[in-house]
Amino acid sequence: MHKYKVVSVSETQLEDMVRQSPELIEDGLAFVDHQAATDRGPLDVLLVDSGNALAVAELKVVEDDSMLVQGLDYYDYLSRNLDRYAQAYKKHKIDPAQEPRLILIAPSFSVSLLARIKWLSLPVSLYTYQCIRLEGDSDVTPVYKEVSAPGAPERIEAYSLEDRLTYITDPAVQKLARDLVAEMQGWDPKNLHVDAIKYSVSIKVGGRLLAYLEPRRKYFHISMYDEDREWASWEISTVKDVAEVRPVIRMNYEKLKGGDS
């Protein structure tokens, strides 16, 4: 195994790494522009995802709660000018009918920022990162990890399970999600309920939360308690991933079915 060390980078260096390899953040992300002028100042990086939705990325090299307000300013500008961006960057096939996304990238996020995120009714993706350098190598490689913010209390609104599943643009991964949902429903058709909520799918047993299925373009998350009763998320994109998470889902299902707290 190669030895490596974690190194610090400047915001300019981080921006360059995001520009050069956005697919390391999320499969299917593509670079559109950077430092584009807005009425709120220049945005960091403009991206388009695999579903042709425009995304603005706000970057910080330290934990900084102000990035949320900055990101929302840029998101507001993008939302008001989607048609213009679609015309200006035709080769990227931006779909102005798609809701734009806000992506925040920082080494860490505070509890306060995570608490505020859950109340936003727009698609926000959070990624932490580390930059590593292999021993004997001068190149620096960023390693990104998606962070799931706590969900807000559910409100009575009409959402469609089909809409949530079709948000996944990779056909094979979408099938994995459908098959996993169908499998869980088969465990207990009477008491296990699968409901679409804002940006995710809630899976409950007898009214008690079993897990959230959180669709992304090229994968999905299963968020639930792990064996140590710590809240955790599993990224699912392959049959192997499903096989690894299934025992944990089943364990939680059996506990809820048996009435454990």
Query: Residues 48, 32: contact at Cβ < 8 Å?
Result: yes
CA–CA distance, 208 with 160 (Å, rounded to integer):
20
Domain edge (last residue) among 116, 147, 178: 147
Residues 179 and 80 in one domain: no
Query: Residues 219, 169: contact at Cβ < 8 Å?
Result: no
**pTM for this one?**
0.65
Q: Provide the pLDDT for residue 155.
A: 59
Q: Provide the pLDDT for residue 135.
A: 76
CA–CA distance, 69 with 117 (Å, rounded to integer):
11
Residues 223 and 95 in one domain: no
Which CATH number does the domain housing residue 123 bear?
3.40.1350.10
- Segment 222-248, tens digit of pLDDT: 999 988 888 889 999 999 999 999 999
Q: Provide the pLDDT for residue 41.
A: 86
Domain carrying residue 183: 161-257
Residues 132 and 46 in one domain: yes
| Residue 153 domain-assigned (yes or no) | no
Residues 126 and 19 in one domain: yes
CA–CA distance, 161 with 94 (Å, rounded to integer):
25
Residue 58 backbone zone (phi > 0: left; psi -120 to 50: alpha; other: beta): beta
Query: Residues 161, 196: contact at Cβ < 8 Å?
Result: yes
CA distances (Å), origin 118, targets 125, 182, 219, 261 = 11, 28, 21, 25
Residues 176 and 214 in one domain: yes
Residues 168 and 135 in one domain: no
Q: pLDDT confidence of 3, banded at 50, 70, 90?
A: confident
Q: Provide the pLDDT for residue 79.
A: 92
With a CB cutoff of 8 Å and minimum separation 6, the contacts of 209 are 202, 203, 224
Give mean pLDDT, residues 35-57.
Answer: 91
Q: pLDDT confidence of 220, banded at 50, 70, 90?
A: very high
87 pLDDT above the threshold of 80: yes
- Segment 172-187, tens digit of pLDDT: 999 999 999 999 999 9
Residues 203 and 127 in one domain: no
- Segment 129-162, tens digit of pLDDT: 999 988 777 788 999 999 987 776 665 567 899 9
Q: How many domains does the chain have?
A: 2
